[in-house]
Amino acid sequence: METILDVKDLSISFGNNHVLRSLSFALNRNEVLGVIGPNGAGKTVLLNIIVGLLKPSHGRLLFMGSDITGKKISERTKLGIGSTFQIPRPFQKMTVFENMIIGGVYGDGLSEKAAAERAFVLTDTIGLGDKIETLAGKLGLLDRKRLEIGIAMASNPKLLLIDEVAGGLTESEVARILEIVASVKEKGVSVIWIEHIIETMMRGTDRVMCLADGGIVICGTPTEVMGSKEVHDVYLGVDEE
């Protein structure tokens, strides 16, 4: 398989707190990699390093074969890295459509017309085709999270980073998020998805990686990882008889 992201020997510390320790893994093109682990395992820190919000203490990031370790957020976005946030951050007083146009204009350098054409198509992908004129501030939680994915997709990413987008949603709403992620994959986009909701990792990923104490505990198929003793010990909290 072709590698789209190669994380090599990545480390980061905040004072005496060693959050990530020599972390290495590869993400394949058009793969959905789930990331789980206890609070403080370094999951969101990892995504923030990949997107460019944080600089690692050591290690390198290769995206599509090029070293992006020292590149700015804007440069990484134009190369094809998009991201969502745990708390959706749309422009509250702009419509769904306007928010997604901004994603295309500033994330991918499109003209306003081209960005609008892309946004119009994407609103159906994320399930907001009937709410394109609704102000973002008037949306419910599910629709705000849909919009968060839509804004990221408006920049035409090759890699999408998703951080706990299913948190706080009902079972039926989680199912809708799973459908959206599947649609994203169908478009040829690779995904790294952090989530605490086990159903999303079992049904929506190709591989799952468990982090704990700054390193990889296990990485494999969803069934292998979720059924492993290692994950039960460090994450699911199942005691041995």
Cα(228)–Cα(219) distance, integer angstroms: 10
Q: pLDDT for 25-81, tens place per residue?
A: 999 999 999 999 998 899 999 999 999 999 999 999 999 999 999 999 999 999 999
Q: State the pLDDT confidence band at 1, using cuts at 50, 70 and 90.
A: confident
Q: What is the torsion angle, in degrees rounded to the nearest 10, for the CA atoms of residue 58, residue 61, residue 62 and residue 63?
A: -170
Q: pLDDT for 90-106, tens place per residue?
A: 889 999 999 999 999 99
- 240 pLDDT more than 50: no
- How many degrees, rounded to 5, is the angle at CA 35 between CA 224 and CA 202? 45
Q: State the pLDDT confidence band at 86, using cuts at 50, 70 and 90.
A: low
Q: Global pTM?
A: 0.93
Give strand ranges (E) for the chain: 3-14, 17-28, 32-36, 58-63, 66-67, 81-83, 159-163, 190-194, 207-212, 215-220
Q: Which residue type sits at 71? A: K
